């Protein structure tokens, strides 16, 4: 079960991993906490969004369905409303009723129910910082950690299904500095222009700490599916942008894996790992 904040996050964080496991016969369910109703349109071939949140939601539902098909996974909406990324100094208040403002138990209840119904062995989510400071990404971490902790407890979330205890919880490593640097240098060495220099500098300047990598999943055979899923989010992803700037051969040679941090395990496992189901295959 891969829990994400918005439609498109599943295609930019751990996408090739989910495609690989799905291809290998794992029943993979992507969970989208919100409908992405307040996402900016990032594809210059689309104009600014017209219509209300419902219109955007409908567009993004179609995009999400195409992305899930590209990855070969199932997908479920939790039904919360996008909080948007507040910008300015001071930051404006979050919009009323948005995901990040829902009290934790109320926000976690539908995910607990889904965990008890789908019964995942492994859950993935974001680290406590959200990976980047979007309020929905931080909230996604909080509800995932709560569901992982509480779904197996019969005294919690009573009336929300029979208890089920997931065995491992991971944090996605979306954009590790080491990965970006390796790819950036390889592009420069190949005599091409790299779009990542500025990104690396701004990230360094912000002193965003690198989190621990415990688990590397070999998944370059699934990069085509990952890219197809990204492109399916047509309003959100610039087809000439950042995500598609690395020549495939450079990417595969420099970085053929996706990375995770094991946040909790209820089965014995040895680190580092190369399989999200390490320790589970042996015991289940």
Binding residues for Zn(2+): 6, 9, 137
Least Å from the CB of residue 137 to Zn ion: 6
Cα 38 from chain centre = 17
Q: Which of positions 227-266 make contact with Zn ion (CB under 5 A)?
A: none
Closest CB to Zn ion: residue number: 6
Of 137 and 216, which has the nearer Cβ to Zn ion? 137
Contact range with Zn ion by CB under 5 A, out of 1-9, 18-26, 241-249, 250-258: 1-9
* The token pair that represents 187 in the structure block: 């592009």
Closer residue to Zn ion (CB): 9 or 37? 9
Instruction: Give the nearer residue to Zn ion in terms of CB position, either 5 or 183.
Output: 5
| Residue (of 229, 246, 253) closest to 18 by Cα position | 229
Q: Which residue lies nearer to Zn ion by CB, 40 or 54?
A: 40
The least CB distance from residue 9 to Zn ion, in Å, is 4
Lay out the sheet containing 168-173: strands in order across: 74-80, 29-34, 2-4, 122-125, 168-173, 257-265, 215-218
Q: Binding site: what residues are annotated?
A: 6, 9, 137
Is residue 184 near Zn ion by the rule CB under 5 A?
A: no
User: Nearest distance from residue 175's CB to Zn ion, in Å?
Assistant: 13
Give φ, ψ of 59 to 5 degrees: -60, -45
Number of amino acids touching Zn ion (CB under 5 A): 3
Residues 5-44 that bind Zn ion (CB under 5 A): 5-6, 9
Instruction: Give the nearest distance from C-beta 5 to Zn ion in angstroms.
Output: 4
CB of 108 to Zn ion, least distance (A): 18
Place of tokens 């996402």: 39
Cβ neighbours, 10 Å, residue 243: 16
Stretch that binds Zn ion, among 2-10, 71-79, 143-151, 276-284 (CB under 5 A): 2-10
Cis peptide before 90 (omega within 30 of 0): yes
Nearer to Zn ion by Cβ, of 86 and 161: the residue is 86
Does residue 4 have a cis peptide bond before it, meaning omega lies within 30 degrees of 0? no
Single out the residue of 26, 31, 36, 5 nearest to residue 127, CA to CA. 5
273-to-63, 133, 213, 215, 270 alpha-carbon distances in Å: 33, 28, 9, 5, 7
Cβ at position 134, least distance to Zn ion in Å: 6
Closest CA to 33 of 54, 11, 8, 3: 3
Nearer to Zn ion, 6 or 173 (CB): 6
Rounded CA separation 127/34 (Å): 18
Residues at the interface with Zn ion (CB under 5 A): 5-6, 9
């Amino acid at each position: 079960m891969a829990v994400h904040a918005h439609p498109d996050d599943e295609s930019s964080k751990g996408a090739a991993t989910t495609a690989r496991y799905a291809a290998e016969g794992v029943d993979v369910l992507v969970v989208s906490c919100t409908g992405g109703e307040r996402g900016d349109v990032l594809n210059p071939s689309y104009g600014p969004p017209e219509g209300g949140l419902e219109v955007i939601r409908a567009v993004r539902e179609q995009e999400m369905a195409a992305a899930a098909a590209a990855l070969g996974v199932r997908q479920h909406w939790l039904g919360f409303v996008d909080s948007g990324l507040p910008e300015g100094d001071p930051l404006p208040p979050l919009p009323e009723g948005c995901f990040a403002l829902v009290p934790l138990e109320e926000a976690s209840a539908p995910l607990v129910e889904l965990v008890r119904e789908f019964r995942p062995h492994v859950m993935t989510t974001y680290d406590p910082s959200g990976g980047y400071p979007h309020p929905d990404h931080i909230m996604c971490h909080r509800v995932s950690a709560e569901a992982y902790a509480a779904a197996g407890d019969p005294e919690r979330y009573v009336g929300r299904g029979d208890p089920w205890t997931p065995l491992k919880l991971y944090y996605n490593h979306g954009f590790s500095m080491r990965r970006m640097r390796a790819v950036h240098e390889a592009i420069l060495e190949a005599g091409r222009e790299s779009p990542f220099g500025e990104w690396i500098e701004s990230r360094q300047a912000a002193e965003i700490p690198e989190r621990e990598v415990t688990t590397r999943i070999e998944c370059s055979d699934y990069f085509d599916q990952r890219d197809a899923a990204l492109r399916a989010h047509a309003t959100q992803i610039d087809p000439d942008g950042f995500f598609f700037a690395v020549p495939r051969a450079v990417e595969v040679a420099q970085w053929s894996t996706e990375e995770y941090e094991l946040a909790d395990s209820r089965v014995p496992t040895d680190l580092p790992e190369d399989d999200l189901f390490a320790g589970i295959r042996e015991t289940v």
